[in-house]
Structure 1
Amino acid sequence: MSDLLQIEIVYALPMQQTTLVLKVSAGCSVEDAIRESGILARHPEIDLAVNKVGLFGRVVPLSTPLNHATRIEIYRPLLADPKEIRRQRAEKAKLQTLK
């Protein structure tokens, strides 16, 4: 069995998505893989102290060990609270039906 794991790292902006596929050593953590990938040089706005990261849509600590075929996602900070946006949209729809 190989000591290398093939993983994927994804970071999405509104108009651009970066997907990197790379091989890392077994026992590698999420943070190790992100740093090895070079994505921090491509996207200097990523701050691992601020940006959350996840595996397949679930937020995990940077120290999480990786498995083969893992997809690491780097999340951008939210600009608005989704619950607040839904509430505002519902209020607006309610006002429209009253007119």
Structure 2
Amino acid sequence: MKVILMYASAPREVHETALTVAEGCTVRTALEQAGWLQRFPEIQSESLAFGVWGRKAGWDRELRDDDRVEVLRGLRVDPKVARRERFVGQGARATGLFARRRPGSKAGY
């Protein structure tokens, strides 16, 4: 059974490993087989989470053929707050649907 392990240890630094594992393999055993628990000791901390194809998974989740296991870091900035701050910096008229108006058109079209 083939699985892919993905981990972004830092911004713009992605580690990817393709691995062949036995049936009934869990997330923990896949990480152990790849040697990632020794290579990246921060994976065992509680601040990191795991996902399989973008859906949250635990240590004991059984993997299937062609699964992609992702080690997920927490967000440093809430996306909603970041969007609000960008909007304030750009101004209301320079963003989104209202950035360009056709001559003679109504506002917002």
TM-score (norm 2): 0.73
Number of residue pairs matched by the alignment: 93
Q: Using the alignment, how far apart are the partners of 1:48 and 1:19 within structure 2? A: 20
Q: CA deviation at 1:36?
A: 2.1
Q: Distance in 2 between matches of 1:35 and 1:79?
A: 27
- Structure 2 residue 39 is the aligned partner of structure 1 residue 39: no
Paired with 1:60 and 1:23, the residues of 2 have a C-alpha distance of: 20
Structure 2 counterpart of 1:69: 66
Task: Tell me, yes or no, if structure 1 residue 90 matches structure 2 residue 87.
Answer: yes
Q: Does 1:59 align with 2:19?
A: no
- The equivalent residue for 1:8 is 4
Query: Unpaired runs of 5+ in structure 2?
Result: 95-109
Percent sequence identity is 31
Residue 38 of structure 1: how far off its partner (Å):
0.8
Residue 27 (1) aligns with residue 24 (2) = yes
Taking structure 1 as the reference length, the TM-score comes to 0.80
Shift in Å, 1:96: 8.2
- SS where residue 33 of structure 2 aligns? helix
Higher relative contact order (CA 8 A, sep 6+): 1
| 5+ long unaligned stretches in structure 1 | none
